[in-house]
A = this chain, B = another copy of it.
Amino acid sequence: MATQCKYCPLNRKDAFIDLSPEEVEFMQKFKVGELVIDPGTPILMQGSNAPQLFTALSGMGIRERHLKDGSKQVINFVFPGDFIGLQAGLLGEMGHSVEARTQMRLCVFNRSEFWNFFKGHPERAFDITWLGAMEENFLGESIATLGQRSAIQAVAWTMVKIFQRGAALGMVQNNTIALPYTQRDVADALGLSLVHTNKTLGKLKERQLASWSDRVLQINDLEKLAMIAMTDLRPLPKRPLI
């Protein structure tokens, strides 16, 4: 028996816009179950036409795109609250794969119900589109990072972004956050080699800005990191929860 939406732990976090009781009830109908998966498990495959969509309830993962020569590009990191499968739901085919990096708990929706959002619940349809626009915006920033920022700027940028997202979700304690990724993941996200990523992380540690070891990222000087990364530190807007 699936857990009740009204007890969903995410809905109480202030990173998210509160749902009205009616909305919660509608989402409950849309929800078909929950899924708990182990680290390394693929959630959706690039090119697949998945019948199910998900919201990450807990745990973290990555979105990645595979190229013909075997290399891969990490598109984004998946945090709790992220909606997974928008492309499958709309385009009928995922442009990237999604894979768990920790144990994850997923809220499972039926894709066939997707259209009901638009037909009967325009506010929720709007929320989905809003999330899509937010992701588009973020990907644009990533493109600017890959195209214009140097290795140290890019790594600093990534650390700032991860830290900010984590902070909004209450995952930060004493300026530290658990980071279940490997340096290879970060390297693949930034289009850098593993070796160079490692050396660049070393520089940030040397300069006492951020140190990441034992799966824990510690941020010592967020402002200076943001300056290196050429980015602003404005707070993330509240996001809807699907």
Beyond A68-B230, A122-B119, A125-B125, whether A95 also contacts B147 by CB under 8 A is no
Select A129's contact among B75, B125, B141, beta carbons within 8 Å.
B125
Residue of B whose beta carbon sits closest to that of A232? B68
Instruction: Give Cα distance in the complex from A142 to B73, angstroms.
Output: 10
A26 at the interface (CB under 8 A from B): no
**Contact pattern, A 107-120, Cβ under 8 Å of B = 1, otherwise 0:** 00000000100110
A237 neighbours in B (Cβ, 8 Å): 91
The reply to whether A136 and B139 contact each other, CB–CB distance below 8 Å, is yes
Copies of this chain, whole number: 2
The reply to whether A69 and B133 contact each other, CB–CB distance below 8 Å, is no
* Further contacts, 10 of them, CB under 8 A, given A87-B136, A139-B139, A143-B146: A65-B144, A67-B148, A118-B122, A118-B123, A119-B122, A128-B129, A136-B139, A143-B143, A146-B147, A146-B191
The reply to whether B129 and A95 contact each other, CB–CB distance below 8 Å, is no
Most buried by B among A68, A96, A118: A118
Enumerate chain A interface residues (CB-CB to B < 8 A). 63, 65, 67-69, 71-73, 75, 86-87, 90-91, 95-96, 115, 118-119, 122-123, 125-126, 128-130, 132-137, 139-144, 146-149, 188-191, 230-231, 237
A130 neighbours in B (Cβ, 8 Å): 90-91
Select A122's contact among B96, B122, B141, beta carbons within 8 Å.
B122
Interface of A is mostly: helix
Instruction: Give Cα distance in the complex from A188 to B143, angstroms.
Output: 11
Beyond A147-B191, A191-B148, whether A140 also contacts B95 by CB under 8 A is yes
State how many angstroms separate the Cβ of A184 from the closest Cβ of chain B. Answer: 13
